[in-house]
């Protein structure tokens, strides 16, 4: 039976961690629980012990525990360490290697992978200190799940809600299922690997479609799923970048370790990108609607026998071109996407010049390719220097390679191979 060491931090979300114990047990995964001092304000050792069927640990210097199981042994007795909720304070301690209580000490002493499920107030989550700590933790190989967006216990709205127990259990299963080789590299980063190649870099990514309202119930849209842009945002964050993802209306969850802004229209997307700038890299992966209706109906347009409504269309702002054409404040590296259904390379080359970007990721989205909405992609990287054709790959793998290519270009290497 697989076993996790579950560190429960002191936050309102701690009650969900009790449910997590149950969800893990259903999947055949046992939990041994450590409560921080603050966690005991939210859940009792008794309920954690009852659910886990094991002793609950909560004091560093308890002599009997030290005799039975020292904190070093405790930190290594599981296949995975899970921190849920990972409070801002616990994340800060982990990022800085502090060890002043049982939870932080065993997190420093462990030789196992660590998965955190952050939960905190939205301002705390968005604070540069927490962003820095998260980037540090990620580059140390710590895995993260959530947080999600929604109404919070403190009455504010935004990212900071702990992922749901089943989502955390999914992430636990994924982490436990990864090959030991990867686990070992993550657990023990070698010298020089402490910071990802994009550490300290700011990246803004757009993704998904936009919806352009016709009236309060109808809109113009397209078939973009947002999958490639979301995967890319995550891959860039994995390399240590501070990523802001400006996402059009899609059903995908916020990627871990990424600041996600949800928007609906092209104009809102441009405003959100502007707010997120300045940045070192801007990646326009969104399929922005080219047009919107000139006058949006305030009321639902009624169907009238024999009379079809007429709409005048006007052009939406071109987000990519407008950012790329900026003098001062232009991000040094700008990546556009070109979704074409014919003459893919030719159109991408023209787009590179027309939009003024540095790199175009071109793909064929004709319906028979299944790329739009699918999980695979076949892309061509088009720059002023030439074209590189990549094989058919999963969108996550395309994202990983693109993130590496972006890091290489930022580092001044011209080659675009990942």
User: Which residues of this chain interact with ligand C5P, rule CB under 6 A?
Assistant: 206, 266, 284, 286, 288, 316, 318-320, 336-338, 351, 355
In the bound state with ligand C5P, the residue whose beta carbon lies nearer, of 125 and 390, is 390
- Name residues whose C-beta falls within 8 Å of residue 338's C-beta, 6 or more positions apart in sequence: 344, 347, 348, 351, 360, 361, 362, 363, 382
User: C-beta of 208: minimal distance to ligand C5P in Å?
Assistant: 10
CB atoms inside a 10 Å sphere around CB 199: 17
In the bound state with ligand C5P, the residue whose beta carbon lies nearer, of 158 and 248, is 248
In the bound state with ligand C5P, the residue whose beta carbon lies nearer, of 206 and 244, is 206
- Distant-in-sequence contacts of 336-343, Cβ < 8 A, 24+ apart: 336/284, 336/360, 336/361, 337/228, 337/284, 337/285, 337/287, 337/361, 337/362, 337/363, 338/362, 338/363, 338/382, 339/224, 339/287, 339/363, 339/365, 339/372, 340/364, 340/365, 341/365, 341/366, 342/366
**Residues 121 and 79: beta-carbon distance below 8 Å:** no
Q: What is each CA distance from 265 to 87, 215, 250, in whole angstroms?
A: 34, 13, 12
User: C-beta of 205: minimal distance to ligand C5P in Å?
Assistant: 10
Q: What is each CA distance from 59 to 9, 103, 217, in whole angstroms?
A: 14, 9, 57
**Residues 199 and 240: beta-carbon distance below 8 Å:** yes
User: C-beta of 285: minimal distance to ligand C5P in Å?
Assistant: 6
User: What's 307's DSSP letter?
Assistant: B
**Residues 11 and 120: beta-carbon distance below 8 Å:** yes
- Pick the closest to residue 146 from 155, 157, 134 (CA basis): 134
> Distance between CA atoms of 332 and 335, rounded to whole angstroms?
10
Length of the chain: 418
In the bound state with ligand C5P, the residue whose beta carbon lies nearer, of 44 and 322, is 322
Question: In this structure, what token pair is assigned to residue 262?
Answer: 């949800």
Supply the residues annotated as catalytic: 154
CB atoms inside a 10 Å sphere around CB 305: 4
User: What's 28's DSSP letter?
Assistant: T
Q: Which residues of 394-412 are buried (b: 16+ CB within 10 A; e: fewer)?
A: ebbbbbbbbbbbbbbbbee
Residue with tokens 């992922």: 163
User: C-beta of 317: minimal distance to ligand C5P in Å?
Assistant: 6
Residue with tokens 């962003």: 131
User: C-beta of 345: minimal distance to ligand C5P in Å?
Assistant: 14
Question: In this structure, what token pair is assigned to residue 66?
Answer: 């030290």
User: C-beta of 322: minimal distance to ligand C5P in Å?
Assistant: 8
Q: Where are the beta strands (DSSP E) in 211-307?
A: 212-213, 219-220, 242-247, 259-262, 281-284, 291-293
In the bound state with ligand C5P, the residue whose beta carbon lies nearer, of 135 and 207, is 207
In the bound state with ligand C5P, the residue whose beta carbon lies nearer, of 56 and 284, is 284
User: C-beta of 381: minimal distance to ligand C5P in Å?
Assistant: 13
In the bound state with ligand C5P, the residue whose beta carbon lies nearer, of 164 and 212, is 212
**Residues 358 and 365: beta-carbon distance below 8 Å:** no
User: C-beta of 207: minimal distance to ligand C5P in Å?
Assistant: 9
In the bound state with ligand C5P, the residue whose beta carbon lies nearer, of 32 and 355, is 355
């Amino acid at each position: 039976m697989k076993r996790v060491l579950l560190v429960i931090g002191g936050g309102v979300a701690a009650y969900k961690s009790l449910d997590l114990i149950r969800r893990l047990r259903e999947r055949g995964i046992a939990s041994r629980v450590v409560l921080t001092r603050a966690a005991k304000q939210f859940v009792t050792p008794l309920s954690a012990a009852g659910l886990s069927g094991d002793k609950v640990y909560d004091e560093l210097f308890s002599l009997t525990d030290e005799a039975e199981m020292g904190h070093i042994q405790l930190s290594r007795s599981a296949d995975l360490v899970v921190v849920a909720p990972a409070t801002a304070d616990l994340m800060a301690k982990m990022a800085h290697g502090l060890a002043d209580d049982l939870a932080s000490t065993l997190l420093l002493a462990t030789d196992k992978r660590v998965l955190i499920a952050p939960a905190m107030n939205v301002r705390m989550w968005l604070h540069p200190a927490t962003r820095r700590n998260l980037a540090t933790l990620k580059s140390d190989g710590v895995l993260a799940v959530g947080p999600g967006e929604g109404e919070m216990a403190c009455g504010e709205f935004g990212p900071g809600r702990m992922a749901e127990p089943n989502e955390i259990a999914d992430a636990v299963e994924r982490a436990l299922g990864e090959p030991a080789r990867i686990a070992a590299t993550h657990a023990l980063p070698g010298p020089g690997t402490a910071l990802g190649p994009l550490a300290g870099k700011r990246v803004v990514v757009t993704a998904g479609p936009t919806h352009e309202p016709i009236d309060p119930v109808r809109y113009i849209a397209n078939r973009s799923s947002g999958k490639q842009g979301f995967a890319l945002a995550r891959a860039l964050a994995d390399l240590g970048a501070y990523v802001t993802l400006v996402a059009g209306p899609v059903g995908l969850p916020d990627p871990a370790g990424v600041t996600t802004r949800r928007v609906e229209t092209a104009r809102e997307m441009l405003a959100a990108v502007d707010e997120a700038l300045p940045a070192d890299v801007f990646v326009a992966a969104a399929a922005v609607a080219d047009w919107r209706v000139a006058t949006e109906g305030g009321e639902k347009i009624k169907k009238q026998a024999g009379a079809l409504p007429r709409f005048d269309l006007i052009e939406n702002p071109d987000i990519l071109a407008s950012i790329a054409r900026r003098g001062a404040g232009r991000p040094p590296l700008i990546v556009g996407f070109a979704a074409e259904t014919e003459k893919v390379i030719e159109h991408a080359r023209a787009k590179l010049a027309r939009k003024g970007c540095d790199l175009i990721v071109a793909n064929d989205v004709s319906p028979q390719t299944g790329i739009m909405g699918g999980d695979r992609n076949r892309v061509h990287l088009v720059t002023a220097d030439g074209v590189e054709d990549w094989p058919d790959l999963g969108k996550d793998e395309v994202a990983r390679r693109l993130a590496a290519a972006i890091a290489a270009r930022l580092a001044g290497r011209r080659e675009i191979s990942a």
